[in-house]
A and B are shown apart, each in its own frame.
Chain A
């Protein structure tokens, strides 16, 4: 459509706002309450422009372009109006420094006075130099204020971890309330009250902790002023460099930016772009610094001498480890972690199998959520879930979540579900503890544990398989076998309420399309695991829905691929091996004195305490690496900080050990890790790993056997806040508070 702004005409796509069009044409219109990720709000009235044919000026952010529209953004009337509105806005916000002529000189001399509690001017505000209000005042050219100050402040609220709330600086743009609702779904904050005394607050003034806030930090990130600020950097938030990396604390793979000032880390902000598009969670957003600098961080190699671990040099420690493990002639178990990068996994795996000849290779975590469990010999072998994008989930019309508290374990997936629900999708929750903020939005809740839920699913499958909606793909391999096996299964009779709910779910599945089925490790671990996984796979296949496993670890999908490439199933860990190489937390391993244990670790803990040799390793921001997130997206993360102490990357350690045992390990290029990968839109590097598609794999028969438990991985499971064996939610105080533990 054609639009004319300030005398210039251009073509814009339908669905664009006047603001979009202006920006595309390089015309600047100041805004405050608008945000590119949020629905236009039109409350600040700063972006008002003249639209020919309309009696009153219209807000550019919320006005859709119409064919032939004529807009003026800079007439004297508009410029005066903008100044007047801004003047009114500033009557509610400490404005001393904003129009002060001494501003620049003052900056130099008052740098440390910022450590006061209630800012009365820019100089004392945590958002100084980053504040969007400052920018708008400069752009609008306001030099004098005509309205008396009506200060709103009631003091800085500090009852919660991480976030300071200063109502006095709030301009009521609503971005925080909107992001908490439109993107995150927690709705922890809202507008309270009416008229001039309106403030952004919580239900009955409770702490954020008590109203379901997850401390994801999204509100702080969208706040244009200093009203919401990160406490840890309140007085030193200025930065002059950003380095991007991928978070390794869960399976979402959020892109984060470490912000530094003169080379010293200041804070972390989520970056735009897939997969997380400016979102993160409490861990990636707030505790990276605490993680890296934790007092329990292992900084020096240690060797056990005379029954006690003593610090030593790398030379000594490596020699000791090589000698100790080399002498065992392969009677070794090796444990890796699905949190490790592909390069680390590869190198450690090659070291263990090729160089040390280890008897068994394990992953510390149960990643059966990504295994399809198809018998080997089928095309694709023992591989694994198809790739998808979080955005695909946002388009679903029905989402069924099994046993998973997404905001805790897969927060970005949780935001996609929230977007879907706000767009009208129905949400069904099976199992779960009811604590998730998504609980509120569920149309149907089925309270069954994973054991029973599987049986329930089979009933649903049986019914959906009758193909009343006509959507079941008739030609797909395995359908008839599946139908037969479902018919042969005994009918599972349960209470009336469950069968009523079964009917409801079946009705939803028939009416709403596409559906998405989300499940986590708890659903497919345990003896019922393979049956449950098969049931979800088949249900997704029958309904043409999305199959969405939600693993917990940063590189679970990469680990599955690499372990498969090693061609090994767990191998047997019994009888107990005489040696252990642990790069992942070997939780169930208990020493009885005879063995030789080498631990690559980042933190003190039970594992390191049992070791004969401790080799300190780097954490993800301190090393480059390739990680595959829950979507199957392959991401390369740069090192953004120098390693702490004498820590070294795991693959480097593996290489050094190999060398001392007379071998060389060469890690191939990242892309070669993956047998099948597909290119995304013109990128040089493939973006997603290939996985089996339903069309290729067809339906699965429902297995009845029990899984084999991996004794070295069993025991403590179920902590999504684990970082290489270190329980963050216990060891980092602010996170412990936020998790309410």
Chain B
């Protein structure tokens, strides 16, 4: 790593990296994001390395430890390149076969390949596996090619080329125009056109200006940003440098939730490496532009993902939101113009600059361009992170990519957008995924959480879960959210424990409306959604709970087996 004095240096370095010839014949990619590690990926790595050493095959077979590549259901997994052979649910004892047969001899180990549940057919190549086939991993494919601890890997695949183009071939306004032409919209939930937001910040009066990456990712079940930050932090960094250049900022912050230690580590390391290479700090790539980044850690709150609360936290104060307007682009951190974007949004920016807005805009629908990463979780066979083009149908995601609900169950609904979102019933499965369609269906895109519910999910219990979450995460500043989420949570708990009274549903709906209308920030304003959207589609299920004191899905313990009928000493579910 040396300091790059101008864009030519960067290109020379990239060429050198690409032309490196070695005796290495195959690379075994070990996907080791937090999910992989939880499944034992590091033990797999160690076993593979031990096997390579034992066989003395270090000159022919190498390991590449990367971040998460999305197929979390099958972790720990490896992909053997260049053939792209995918092995999942590995155990350390499998290391010998993987290294000897596939790594050295190029043969497929059938028993380790992906098996289609219904037919038993085995598929060796990753790009043929149904989970991957319909995805378009524009942003996340780098996760398979890059060791997040090495900036060289990112450079080799074209990293920072977009930055060089923006900094040297375009003006700041030109960069904004390019992003505008791409149609990129925010990926954090609101879907606000990114270039328009940048322009507001650029035009605002006030100095200095700040750019912020919102990596607080608090929605339960959502972890797309985690995999990007762990697996390819440089993509986010490059995006932020471009944004800072476009808006006239010299200082930026990446606000990462404290519960993501690996992401924090990898981002901080990437920042130092970028500094050494002259990609951050004074005179980036030898230009006149200066910009630097700092990581700020959250401390365990969901509300700090709300942008004004986040800014308070960055300033060192308690993460209470404040009234908007004024918006951050006008008055943000320390009263200065501030632009906040989500991790995935920032990661899309280098792609727009490098490949061009036209190519970016060729993917997606008329109003929603590009791809979106969803965390496909819940009652689904292929749990994981999927990146799909906007406009793909929900059915394709659930059935083709996700493999459908488990054997013997029926799909009930898909919950999108986290606690701020809503449920899409099974009848609407042909919905095309984009910002407008989801809103019309009574939900939101949100940050990308997609929770699949089947006939053994109780909708009332789901609403209870979400409201309990919101009650605990409410910051407590404003009356409607503080008292309202607690009261709504209480009402739902009554419904799920057989204590509800006639009229409770009406009370819940009326209260939900007050909380929605009167709350100070987005947390409260959307706290009603779990209730209102589920009642809209599943009213009868609520009424059965209230009137008949029965849970059709068989989930609510107190209704399925009343406390008096249970054996003594059993622990209660929270």
Residues of chain A whose beta carbon lies under 8 Å from any beta carbon of chain B = 40, 42-46, 48, 56-57, 59, 62-64, 81, 84-85, 88-89, 91-92, 146-147, 150, 171-172, 174, 190-191, 193-198
A-B contact pairs, 16 of them (CB 8 A): A42-B520, A43-B477, A43-B478, A43-B520, A45-B518, A56-B517, A59-B323, A85-B518, A88-B483, A147-B483, A172-B477, A172-B482, A191-B476, A194-B301, A194-B473, A195-B471
What's the nearest-Cβ distance from chain B to residue A215, in Å?
24
A88 touches B476 (CB 8 A): no
Tally the A-B contacts, defined by beta carbons under 8 Å.
96
Asked if A193 and B476 make an inter-chain contact with CB atoms under 8 angstroms apart, the answer reads: yes
State whether the Cβ of B325 lies closer than 8 Å to any Cβ in chain A.
Answer: yes
B322 at the interface (CB under 8 A from A): yes
In the complex, whether B105 has a CB less than 8 A from a CB of chain A is no
Q: Are B486 and A196 closer than 8 Å at their CB atoms? A: yes
Smallest CB gap from B487: residue in A: A147
Contacts of A48 in B (CB 8 A): 518
With a cutoff of 8 Å between Cβ atoms, the chain B residues found around residue A92 in the complex are 482-483
Q: A84-B518, A193-B476, A196-B485 are in contact. List 7 more A-B contacts (CB 8 A).
A: A59-B323, A63-B325, A88-B483, A191-B476, A194-B473, A195-B486, A198-B482
Given A45-B519, A196-B474: A88 and B479 interface contact (C-beta under 8 Å): yes
Which residues on the A side are within 8 Å of B520 (C-beta)?
42-43, 45
Closest residue on chain A to residue B335 by CB atoms: A424
Residue in contact with B476 in the complex, picked from A45, A81, A194, CB distance below 8 Å: A194
Output the nearest chain B residue to A88 by Cβ-Cβ distance.
Answer: B483
Chain B, interface size category, equals: 20 to 34
With the chains together, A91 CA to B491 CA distance in Å?
Answer: 15
Also in contact, A91 and B487, with CB within 8 A (given A45-B520, A85-B514, A191-B320) = yes
B318 adjacent to chain A (CB < 8 Å): yes
| Cβ of B243 under 8 Å from chain A | no
Partner of A88, one of B303, B472, B474, B487: B487
The answer to the question of B475 belonging to the interface, with a C-beta cut-off of 8 Å to chain A, is yes
Residues of B within 8 A of A (CB): 301, 303, 318, 320, 322-323, 325, 471-480, 482-487, 507, 510-511, 514, 517-520, 525
Give the distance to chain B from A193, nearest Cβ to Cβ, in Å: 7
Q: Is the CB of B479 within 8 A of A85?
A: yes
| Complex-state Cα separation, A193 to B474, whole angstroms | 11
B323 adjacent to A40 (CB under 8 Å): yes
Which of the listed residues B303, B322, B475, B478 has the most CB atoms from chain A within 10 Å of its own CB? Answer: B478
Is the CB–CB distance between A81 and B475 below 8 Å? no
Given that A56-B517, A81-B518, A195-B475 are contacting pairs, would A150 and B483 also be in contact in the complex, using a CB cutoff of 8 Å? yes
By a CB distance below 8 angstroms, the chain B residues around A91 are: 483, 487
How far is B482's CA from A92's CA once the two chains are assembled, in angstroms?
Answer: 10
| Chain A residue nearest to B479 in the complex (CB) | A89
Closest-CB distance, B503 to chain A (whole angstroms) = 11
List chain A residues, Cβ under 8 A from B477: 43, 172, 174, 191, 198
Instruction: Please determine whether B484 and A88 come into contact, CB atoms closer than 8 angstroms.
Output: yes
Asked if B483 and A89 sit within 8 Å, CB to CB, the answer is yes
B317 to chain A, nearest CB (A): 9
Q: A44 to chain B: which residues have CB within 8 Å?
A: 478-479
A174 nearest in chain B by CB position: B477
Q: Which applies to chain B's interface (DSSP): helix, strand, loop or mixed?
A: helix
Distance between B488 CB and nearest chain A CB, rounded to angstroms: 11
Residue of A nearest to B334 (CB): A424
The interface residues of chain B lying within 8 Å CB-to-CB of A84 are 510-511, 514, 518
In the assembled complex, which residues on chain B have CB atoms less than 8 Å from the CB atom of A198? 475-477, 482
**B326: nearest chain-A partner, CB-CB:** A64
Shortest C-beta distance, A566 to chain B (Å), equals 53
Known: A45-B478, A195-B472, A195-B476. A57 touches B518 (CB 8 A): yes
Question: B483 to A197, Cβ gap below 8 A?
Answer: no
Question: Contacts of A193 on B, CB cut-off 8 Å?
Answer: 476
CA distance A44 to B520 in the complex (A): 9
Enumerate chain B residues within 8 angstroms of A171, measured Cβ to Cβ: 479
- Given A45-B478, A85-B514, A196-B483, are A190 and B519 neighbors across the interface (CB < 8 Å)? no
What residues of chain A lie closer than 8 Å to B472, measured between beta carbons? 194-195
Note all chain A residues with C-beta closer than 8 A to B303. 194
Contact check, B475 vs A62: say whether CB atoms are below 8 A apart.
no
Q: Which residue of A lies closest to B513 (CB)?
A: A84
Task: Give chain A nearest CB distance to B490 CB in angstroms.
Answer: 8
Q: By the criterion CB–CB under 8 Å, are A195 and B483 in contact?
A: no
Residue of B nearest to A423 (CB): B335
| Chain A residue contacts of B519, Cβ below 8 A | 45
Give the CA-CA distance A85 to B516 in the complex, in Å. 11
Whether A191 lies near B514 (C-beta < 8 A) is: no
A45 and B479 within 8 A (CB): yes
Which residues of the partner chain A approach B475 to less than 8 Å between Cβ atoms?
Answer: 194-195, 198
Chain A residues with CB below 8 A from B478, complex form: 42-45
A38 to chain B minimum Cβ distance, whole angstroms, is 13
**Complex: A59 Cα to B521 Cα, angstroms:** 12
Residues of A contacting B320 in the complex (Cβ-Cβ under 8 angstroms) = 191
User: Which residues of chain A are near B471, meaning CB under 8 Å?
Assistant: 195-196
**Distance, CA A598 to CA B320, complexed state (A):** 63
* CA–CA, A198 and B473, complex, Å: 11
Bound CA span A174–B482, Å:
14
Question: Which residues in B have their C-beta under 8 angstroms from that of A62?
Answer: 323
Whether B482 and A195, one on each chain, are in contact in the complex, defined by CB atoms closer than 8 angstroms, is yes
Contacts of B483 in A (CB 8 A): 88-89, 91-92, 147, 150, 196
Please name all residues of chain B whose beta carbon is closer than 8 Å to the beta carbon of A89 when the two chains form the complex.
479, 483
Assess whether B480 is in contact with A88, with CB atoms less than 8 Å apart: yes
Bound: A171/B476 CA distance, A: 11
Q: Do B479 and A195 have beta carbons less than 8 Å apart?
A: no
Most chain B beta-carbon contacts within 10 A, residue among A150, A191, A196:
A196
Given A45-B519, A56-B525, A88-B484: A196 in contact with B476 (beta carbons within 8 A): yes
When the two chains form their complex, are residues A196 and B482 in contact, meaning their CB atoms are under 8 A apart?
yes
Q: Are A88 and B514 in contact (CB under 8 A)?
A: yes
Closest chain-A Cβ to B330's Cβ sits at a distance in Å of 11
- Please state if A172 and B480 are interface contacts (CB–CB under 8 Å): no
Residues of A within 8 A of B473 (CB): 194-195
Q: How far is the CB of B85 from chain A (nearest CB, A)?
A: 48
Q: How many angstroms from the CA of A196 to the CA of B320 in the assembled complex?
A: 14
* A54: nearest chain-B partner, CB-CB: B325
